A and B are shown apart, each in its own frame.
Chain A
Amino acid sequence: MMPRSFAASAFRHAALLSIATFALLPFAVMVSTSIKPANEIFSDTVRWWPQKLAMIENYSEAFSAAPLMLYLVNGVVVTAAIFFLQVLVALPAAYALAKLRFFGRHVAFGFVLFCLLIPYQAIAVPLFILLYYVGLLDSYSALVLPFTISVFGIFLMRQFFMGVPDDLVDAARMDGMSELSIVWRVMLPAAVPALTAFGVFSVVAHWNDYFWPLVAVSSDSYFTPPLGIMAFRNAEAGNDFGPLMAAATIIVAPLLALFLLAQRRFIEGIAFTGIK
């Protein structure tokens, strides 16, 4: 195409920069407030960089007022456990649906397609009752167990496995592998791109999930990061904005740092799981 004129290029940047301002403004406010002393937060003049840096005060206040580290660790434990179990359950099922002919496979796949349509929030009430009766509410199990079955994971991996050549599977059978070892020793290595995409999807969803943890746990030793920040805000009566923004920064930072480090992977992963 023709080289864009200066005006067109300037327009492009002007428009994109104003959208970027909209997208980034909350992050800028968050970080800037998290390093301001209270008197500057409540002053009338908008200043992005504080006259007197209160970073240390705010962040140490945030860490001492609430067990932020515990929330972060909970978040890591819960998302990791969920993803690990999802893969453990979904991969064999996806392989069976993609490559094996067995009685009921069409029904099983139809069921997967149907369940894809149902948001988990819709079954939260009975799930809650179930966990209530088995006495698992307010535990790590309550946070993890309901998500061990991911129909989306099964669907995504099944679609990917459909593209793996049958010859590869047959060659593995000739080498004497069992179907289960084919899953882990042949399909898993072949599926790394799809698995990365699913991992991004799963981790982002469960790290940021608020609805289910809110329902499932009540003692703050099980709080995940989103619950933690809410508890922090409610406890601080919402007016100590410096430490509050510091806490928000701490909660948001791990995933964003991961994203910035591997943003290509993340964006491709999301596009991949999105388009399916």
Chain B
Amino acid sequence: MQSNVLPRSQRLETLKRLRDFFNAHNSQTLKQAYDAFSLEHSIDEDELEALFNRYFVGPMEPVADPFASVYLDDPQSVMTQSTLHVRSLYETMGFFYPLKNIVPEDHIGVELDAYYQLIYLEEVKNVAYLSELRYYFFHEHIAVWMPQLIERAMHGRSEGDNAILFILNELKSFLIRETTTTRSHE
């Protein structure tokens, strides 16, 4: 098991890159986040953004909506029970969310941010107070829906969309590694 776990700094760094990628708001921040992975496949900034929008943003129906609610509750809705469950978790973890009621809490970028901060707390600050909640957040929520997003995106993938494929693989590997680290004792 232990061999699957990334070195601490790398684990955090991967998480941070994934977070930044999915939270990118424009072509520059997206390209920066993409380049941070140092992948072999290079891609033009505008091309990358067009791809990213087609997969995760819109305005047309994205290949894979980036919200947990779509996979867990209702394929067409945001701000569902799952979203409010994540809201409750964040609040219990001591987070304040400035975009509350604007961008749903279960957006992939927001969840990766929360997860990053929780890992940071444990790894950098050696604070374990939120660990159990973090495990719960991962196993009962993230690990349930993000693989579905990956699967949907892979399924809807077009030939040549390698940049997205690389990111999805990074996310997938990350999830697999995290999955092996903890489980519920029930």
Q: Do A and B interact with each other, yes or no?
A: no
B contacts, CB < 8 Å to A: none
